Amino acid sequence: MRSHYSSEITPALEGKEVALAGWVHEVRDLGKLKFMVLRDREGFIQVTGKKDACTEDVLKAISSVSRESVVEVKGVVKKNDRAPGGVEVSPLSVNVVSVAQSPLPLDVTAKVDADIDTRLNNRFMDVRKPDVAAIFKIRSAVVSAARSYLDGNEFIEIHTPKIIASASEGGTNLFPISYFDKEAYLAQSPQLYKQMMMATGLDRVYETTFYFRAEEHDTRRHLNEVTAVDVELAFIKNEEDVMNLLEGLVLSMIKAASDCKKELGILKKDISVPGKALRISYGEAIEMLAAHGKKIPSGEDIDTEGEKLLGEIMKSERSSELYFIYGYPLSARPFYTMPGDEKYSRSFDLEYKGVEVSSGAQRIHNYDMLLSQIKAKKLDPESFKYYLDAFKYGMPPHGGFGLGIDRMMMQMLDLAIREVVLFPRDRHRLTP
Ligand code: AMO
């Protein structure tokens, strides 16, 4: 239906006939002059109906069309210094393809601010706003950069089941579903499957995936359906190999976002790409927190408040927004984590501006050790049989991580998590 997007209409096309298609953003009727601003994915273009240059039908269509209707406009490009971008289109025909009812559920011209719930209830219309569309264009660039980075590092993209028979991250946050005559769950993570892949010889795998988490959190940073990049790699020396890969991946994603200049301009945001990710141990982290009045009992995970405070300390004292915390207490990590010694594990979190964006570890690859860890965490080895079998017949040393795409987006753009997900699933939201 279209020969050009609005952004492709430049004064250099003067005199050329073009076909445009999009939504009626605004209409202004000044009697002899009728303006219609047409909006498409790439921007806006002014369509100017002049009484002496257009047919009656064209002028009538412009003055009667409702805002947000879909139109097809054929016309001639004209330079005009007073038009936005120095160019406009003089219409030869205006075809109203789909009429928008009124009143509109949302104001796309953003003259009236709507609350986030009204926006999410009408997401189809919310995303018509250029600043909201910009978020999802950046998101696409970021996911594409993640795939390119991993593809370029000899990873294979896999897809593992989202309907599963047993928990992978602990039993409390599963969504049960009925699977014919059996009980099943939505997958919390591809964890057990990506580890089983390490016994296949494919060596380096990743999945862009959903996690389903029945957590009752109602926060700026939690969702019940999460998008993530999950990675596992074999023949590693230790967790440092995994951290180095994650660092490169995250920097490439931030770089891709920072390259979205047009979209960042629309959002009035700037993204600075860190040079590297610093590394601090869990012990150092809790000492730094204690020095600032926040006590974390030794052996416990750092809570949200602690993470946020650490983010501030790292920024002001070490000029760092991106850093690893490594060597978490074994007791705070899942059963598959490789112990460092009796207390500490070969695990890490990656923090970005005071929020955990990824967690990972070297894994246990020894069958007996894995079995004893499952028992130590009071889990039933029988329900992990299919997973444990993969450790009996040759399993290389391996490790990996899960990186939250939603969390990355929210931290890069400094927005709440529901802003960066098209149709978020949270405690209260199951539609649209
Ligand atoms: P974890 O449970 O820490 O680790 O999840 C990994 C990353 O996923 C994101 N994430 C979430 N984002 C938004 N809302 C949530 N409710 C939520 N839960 C998780 C975060 C988090 O860092 N199997 C391990 C990973 C591994 O070791 O490979 C795991 O799932 O960004």
Q: Report the DSSP beta bridge partners of residue 360.
A: 348, 401
CA distance 277 to 303: 21
Pocket test of ligand 1: the residue of 164, 168, 211, 224 to mutate, having most ligand atoms within 8 Å of its CB, is 211
Instruction: Strand 278-281: give its sheet, edge to edge.
Output: 156-157, 204-212, 225-234, 398-404, 355-362, 347-352, 322-326, 278-281
> What is the position in ligand 1's atom list of the atom closest to the CA of 360?
27
Reported confidence tier of residue 383, pLDDT bands at 50, 70, 90? confident
> Is the Cβ–Cβ distance between 343 and 301 less than 8 Å?
no
Tracing tokens 């750092």 back to the chain, one arrives at: 302
Reported confidence tier of residue 91, pLDDT bands at 50, 70, 90? very high
Percent over 70 (pLDDT), the chain? 99
In this structure, the strands spanning 355-362 and 347-352 are antiparallel
279 is catalytic: no
| End-to-end C-alpha distance for the chain, whole angstroms | 29
Query: DSSP letter string over 138-207?
Result: HHHHHHHHHHHHHHHTT-EE----SEESS-SS-GGG--EEEETTEEEEE-S-SHHHHHHHTTTT--EEEE
- pLDDT tens sequence across 92-107: 999 999 999 999 999 9
Position 220 scores a pLDDT of: 87
Length of the chain: 432
> Is the Cβ–Cβ distance between 192 and 387 less than 8 Å?
yes
- pLDDT tens sequence across 124-183: 999 999 999 999 999 999 999 999 999 999 999 999 999 998 776 666 789 999 999 998
CA distance 241 to 238: 6
Quote the pTM value: 0.96
In this structure, the strands spanning 322-326 and 278-281 are parallel
Distances (CA, A) of 9 to 3, 13, 67, 211: 10, 7, 22, 43
356 is catalytic: yes
In this structure, the strands spanning 347-352 and 322-326 are antiparallel
346 is catalytic: no
Position 216 scores a pLDDT of: 87
67 is catalytic: no
Pocket test of ligand 1: the residue of 150, 219, 226, 406 to mutate, having most ligand atoms within 8 Å of its CB, is 226
Closest CA to 305 of 360, 350, 347, 355: 355
Across the range 112-128, mean pLDDT stands at: 94
Position 79 scores a pLDDT of: 98
Cβ burial, residue 75 (10 Å; 0-12/13-18/19+): buried
Closest residue by Cα to atom 1, ligand 1, is: 359
Catalytic residue among 213, 333, 363, 418: 213
- pLDDT tens sequence across 408-422: 999 999 999 999 999
Mean pLDDT of the chain: 96
> What is the position in ligand 1's atom list of the atom closest to the CA of 401?
28
- pLDDT tens sequence across 177-223: 999 999 899 999 999 999 999 999 999 999 999 999 999 888 889 99
Q: Which of 235-239, 273-277, 354-358, 377-381 has the weakest average pLDDT?
A: 377-381
- pLDDT tens sequence across 317-345: 999 999 999 999 999 999 999 999 989 99
